[in-house]
Structure formats: C-alpha cells, structure tokens
C-alpha cells in the first residue's frame, strides 16, 4: 500500500482523483484492511495545513484528539478527552471520529456549537452542514463555529464492550445580539438527536421547550440526565467552567 501525504489542497485532490483512500488516524480502518485486504493507495491529511488548524473557532480534521485543548470550547474539549484510551487519542483524528466512526463521539459537541464543515471534493472546497457530511461521507477538512457563551458535555459511565454510553452536549449562543438560545444534542445508542430552544427566560422554561422537541421523547432516565445537565449549564455564572 502506498501512503500519500499531500501538502496542499491541489495535491490532495490529485490523490483523490487517483483513487487514494482517506485513512484519518487509521484507528478504525486498519483492522478491516488486515481482514479484507489493503487498498493500493491511502491518503493522510496530516501534512495538509488546512486540516491541522487548532484555534479559536476552528479545528482541523487531521488534528489528533489528544491535541485538543482549551483553545476550543469546553464541550468539544471534554468530548475529545473522553474518547477511548490515551493511546487511541494520540492517533485518532477529528475527521475519522466524525465521518469514519459509528460512535461519532465528537458529533453532539460539534452540533451544539452549530459547527459548519469545510469539505474537500475532487474539484473544489466547499462548506456544508454536519448532517450532509455524515450522510454523504464527505472528506472533512475542518470545522468552524461561532463562539458560544457557555457549553458543557457529559458522558455516562458504561461497561466495556456494552452499548455506547449516553452522551449529552449543550451550548448557549446569542446570535447577532438576539435572545440567547440553548442548543442540546444527545447520543442515545447510535442515534444522535439535536434541537435548540430559547433560554433567556431561565432553565425551567428552556427545559419545558425542550420537552416539546424530539429530545422530549427520550426514555425517562436519559431525559432526567438532560434536564440536570441543562439546569447546571444555565445556572452557571457566565464565563465560568466547572472545576
């Protein structure tokens, strides 16, 4: 197998045109390739500057999860920190987790940030939403989002080898100086649900509004986790994170 390491968008597009398979951090594809056979060509974006950004409001697809720190919002930082083991986080990438994984541990966090995806195609770079990226298995270059007022993330404990743990992510945004809105996303099994509601009148009203969205159909235990999580976030002093 020839591993190609493009250093520009045009080189990456050339690799795609010649059939190179994107590998992310290779933590998910390697076992399958060992079982089913290796492709003739693979492509990593680890040398592509556009895929390695790590800054306020932006995160590259080739960034390994272990590098994600407090330059990104709390919800995304904490989501990355809970993926797998330290060894996994040193190799698994943002793009591999969101596009290549069935668990998509970072997806709820990215959704509540209202992140947009910058995507590489054979003849262009374009921006789209995360739903299209996941549905069409696009080659992700980077994520970009407006900074939230506050955010938080929680993953429930789970037994190794069992069902995926329940995850809840939340963020508060004030778009264009409009009243604040609460964005909440959960992963329940392999399903991800997300919605947003006004939250400027307080946590009780926000939770009642969430109850009228698809999130309100969660089973009672999960719904209680969401309620507690939202209450804690909305009652947190602005600008403070839990210690």
- Domain membership of residue 193 (yes or no) is yes
Do both 87 and 161 map to the same domain?
no
**pLDDT average per 10 residues of sequence, the chain (243 residues):** 91 93 68 72 92 96 95 97 89 90 91 97 94 93 96 90 91 90 96 96 95 96 97 78 47
How much is the pLDDT for 84? 83
Domain around 223: 150-234
Residue 45 lies in a domain: no
Whether 167 and 228 map to the same domain: the answer is yes
Q: Are residues 139 and 22 in the same domain?
A: yes
Distance CA 85, CA 115 (A): 26
Same-domain check for residues 63 and 138: yes
pTM greater than 0.85:
yes
Residue 1 lies in a domain: no
DSSP the chain: -EEE--SSHHHHHHHHHTTPEE-TTSTTTHHHHHHH---SEEE--TT-GGG--EETTEEETT-BGGG--TTS-HHHHHHHHTSS-HHHHTT-BHHIIIII-SS-TTHHHHHHTT-EEEEE-SS-EEEEEHHHHHHHT-EEEEEE-PPPSEEEEEE----TTSSPPPEEEEEEE-GGGPPPEEEEEEEETTEEEEEEEE-TT-HHHHHHHHHTSGGGGS-HHHHHHHHHHHHHHHTSPTT----
- Condensed to tens digits (0 to 9), the pLDDT of residues 22-75 reads 886 556 666 667 677 777 888 999 999 999 999 999 999 999 999 999 999 999
Does 159 lie in the same domain as 223? yes
Same domain for 21 and 102, yes or no, is: yes
């Amino acid at each position: 197998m020839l591993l190609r390491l493009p250093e520009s968008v045009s080189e990456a597009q050339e690799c795609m045109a010649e059939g190179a398979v994107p590998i992310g951090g290779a933590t998910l594809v390697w076992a399958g390739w060992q079982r089913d056979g290796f492709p003739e060509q693979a492509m990593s974006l680890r040398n592509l500057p556009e895929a390695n950004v790590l800054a306020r409001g932006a995160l590259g697809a080739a960034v390994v999860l272990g590098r994600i720190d407090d330059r990104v919002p709390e919800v995304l930082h904490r989501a990355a920190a809970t993926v797998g083991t330290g060894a996994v986080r040193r190799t698994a990438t943002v793009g591999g987790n969101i596009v290549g994984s069935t668990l998509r541990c970072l997806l709820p966090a990215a959704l509540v940030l209202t992140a947009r995806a910058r995507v590489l195609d054979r003849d262009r770079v374009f921006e789209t939403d995360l739903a299209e990226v996941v549905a069409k298995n696009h080659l992700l270059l980077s994520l970009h989002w407006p900074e939230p007022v506050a955010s938080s993330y929680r993953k429930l404990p789970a037994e190794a080898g069992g069902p995926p743990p329940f995850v809840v992510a939340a963020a508060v945004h004030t778009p264009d100086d409009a009243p604040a809105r609460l964005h909440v996303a959960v992963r329940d099994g392999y399903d991800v649900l997300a919605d947003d509601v006004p939250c400027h009148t307080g946590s009780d009203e926000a939770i009642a509004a969430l109850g009228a969205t698809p999130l309100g159909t969660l089973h009672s235990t999960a719904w209680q986790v969401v309620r507690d999580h939202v209450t804690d976030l909305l009652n947190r002093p602005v600008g403070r994170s839990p210690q």
